[in-house]
Amino acid sequence: MSNSPTTSGIAPARLHPEDYARHFDDLYPDYDRHEAMVAADRCYFCHDAPCITACPTEIDIPLFIRQIQAGQPEAAARTIFDQNILGGMCARVCPTETLCEGACVREAAEGKPVEIGRLQRYATETLITRNAHPYTRAAPTGKRVAVVGAGPAGLACAHRLAMKGHAVTLLDAREKPGGLNEYGIAAYKAAHGFAQAEVDWLMQIGGITLRQGWSLGKDGTLADLQADHDAVFLGMGLAGVNALGLAGEDAPGARDAVGFIAELRQTPDLSRLPIGRHVVVIGGGMTAVDAAVQSRLLGAEHVTMVYRRGRADMGASDYELNHAANEGVKIITNAMPVAIHANGALREVEFAYTHMGQTGLEPTGETFRLKADQVFKAIGQTLEGVPEGLTLDGRKIAVDAQGRTSVPGIWAGGDCTGGGDDLTVTAVAQGRDAAESIHATLMGAGA
């Protein structure tokens, strides 16, 4: 399998060159017109469609599917984008099996839902791939809004505000806009540069000035932004990574999974990205799954995900966990890391089995070790550099139902807020709704 002379440890080029393109191609092919028609014909077009309720952006799913059935995919795309301007990416990365498709009447009756996600992808691509933007700006309002963070929440907020005629300054710390969609999602879910293509398409609305390499706190403060703008939206996501708190977690070969995924997404030649033979991923969410699966796709021979609680408590869906298992990832539950053993380089990770005791999750006293030359930590992220003066909800920014923070004139949404649930689609909904609240306030109709 390997064309590298390295026999152990972390090394690049574990696969034949042609395998990389095949492994990291789109997970699912696009529907053609006939396939979309057949899939759309399975929809019951429910009057009180549970799929709409299950969608955080409340897309009128029966309507857009009927439009596809009627041979009008462009109209279907408009129905989707009216509610979710990042509907193309959400069609690729949403956990539809627990959202719209999980609520589908066909799922309850037959165990096979209408393939809403793939139908949404088919519709949205009719406009994105043609570079056809269906919206125009309203007359300029003379109002200026700063949006911090060019991830899903910030992009959705910026687009809605620009569409209403406001001038938007979109500030982001990274070299590319897109946030989680560009840097934090498995490459096979957003293949062929789709994340950037969608951002370029979104920016066609006009009225949005993008400033990259700008960080809140380092390059400017909230007071600075408020002085130059009529409103501020914070959608900077979570930049910090939780630590295990174990000796040895900084040994060569141990790193956070978020950084690994970001590096993979930005690497022009995947054959140059080193990967271990024995990889251990600590965590049970989507980031852990993405890190584990992509390790296998890069040529790791043994990949194990370990989570401290039971499978029912894992953040990743059953669909994603089954996909990981099908790719050869071993999943161990009810085990927590207690030591990382290294001798110049990683050798093993020691775990203790867990159970629910009188004080909560407790070790049973029984331990085991996994051979590892590479470890990825995927145990959650934290908000870094909380702007002074904002009330927190736990360790995130507190907001009300409209996205308003405790400071007048400042809104927030997405993963940096207490109401976020680390989903692209939820971040889009919060950015969109905050934009509506900002617009109403700036135009004198806000509460």
Tokens of 399: 């907001």
Q: Mean pLDDT in the chain?
A: 94
Q: At what angle do helices 152-163 and 194-202 cross, to 10 degrees?
A: 20
- 15-44 average pLDDT score: 94
Question: Between the CA atoms of 116, 120, 121 and 124, what dihedral angle is there, to the nearest 10 degrees?
Answer: 180
What's the N-to-C CA distance of the chain in angstroms? 63
With bands split at pLDDT 50, 70 and 90, how would you rate the model's confidence at 9? confident
With bands split at pLDDT 50, 70 and 90, how would you rate the model's confidence at 431? very high
Q: Across-strand partners of 362?
A: 355
Same topology between domain 10-24+241-381 and domain 144-239+383-442? yes
Q: State the Cα–Cα distance between residues 243 and 54, nearest whole angstrom.
A: 33
Regarding the domain with residue range 144-239+383-442, which homologous superfamily does it belong to in the CATH classification? Answer: FAD/NAD(P)-binding domain (3.50.50.60)
Q: What percent of the chain has pLDDT over 90?
A: 90
**Residues near 382 by beta carbon (within 8 Å), at least 6 away in sequence:** 238, 240, 241, 242, 395
Q: State the Cα–Cα distance between residues 203 and 176, nearest whole angstrom.
A: 13
**Residues near 17 by beta carbon (within 8 Å), at least 6 away in sequence:** 271
Is the pLDDT reported for residue 6 higher than 50? no
Q: What percent of the chain has pLDDT over 70?
A: 97
Is the pLDDT reported for residue 53 higher than 80? yes
- 283-299 average pLDDT score: 97
Q: Domain-by-domain residue ranges, the chain? A: 10-24+241-381, 33-128, 144-239+383-442
Domain 33-128 has CATH 1.10.1060.10: yes
Residue with tokens 């959202």: 99
Q: State the Cα–Cα distance between residues 99 and 105, nearest whole angstrom.
A: 12
**Residues near 415 by beta carbon (within 8 Å), at least 6 away in sequence:** 151, 153, 180, 237, 238, 381, 396, 422, 427
pLDDT of the residue at 172: 98
Q: State the Cα–Cα distance between residues 287 and 132, nearest whole angstrom.
A: 33
- 280-292 average pLDDT score: 97
Q: Is this model's pTM higher than 0.75 or not?
A: yes
Is the pLDDT reported for residue 5 higher than 60? no
- 107-125 average pLDDT score: 96
Is the pLDDT reported for residue 97 higher than 50? yes
pLDDT of the residue at 388: 81
170, 209 contact by CB (below 8 A):
yes
Handedness of CA 174, 176, 177, 183 (dihedral sign): negative
- 202-217 average pLDDT score: 97
Tokens of 281: 């991923």
Q: State the Cα–Cα distance between residues 227 and 319, nearest whole angstrom.
A: 47
Amino acid making up residue 70: A
pLDDT of the residue at 8: 55
Domain 10-24+241-381: CATH class, spelled out: alpha beta
What tens digit of pLDDT does each residue of 310-338 get? Answer: 999 999 999 999 999 999 999 999 999 99
pLDDT of the residue at 351: 98
Least confident of 27-31, 81-85, 431-435: 27-31
Least confident of 151-155, 242-246, 431-435: 242-246
Q: What is the 3-state secondary structure (H, E, C) of the chain?
A: CCCCCCCCCEECCCCCHHHHHHHCCCCCCCCCHHHHHHHHCCCCCCCCCHHHHHCCCCCCHHHHHHHHHCCCHHHHHHHHHHHCCCHHHHHHHCCCCCCHHHHCHHHHHHCCCCCHHHHHHHHHHHHHCCCCCCCCCCCCCCCEEEEECCCHHHHHHHHHHHHCCCEEEEEECCCCCCCHHHHCCCHHHCCCCHHHHHHHHHHHHCCEEEEECCCECCCECHHHHHHHCCEEEECCCCCEECCCCCCCCCCCCEEEHHHHHHHHHHCCCHHHCCEECEEEEECCCHHHHHHHHHHHHCCCCEEEEECCCCHHHCCCCHHHHHHHHHCCEEEECCEEEEEEEECCCEEEEEEEEEEEECCEEEEEEEEEEEECCEEEECCCEECCCCCCCCCEECCEECCCCCCECCCCCEEECCCCECCCCCCHHHHHHHHHHHHHHHHHHHCCCCC
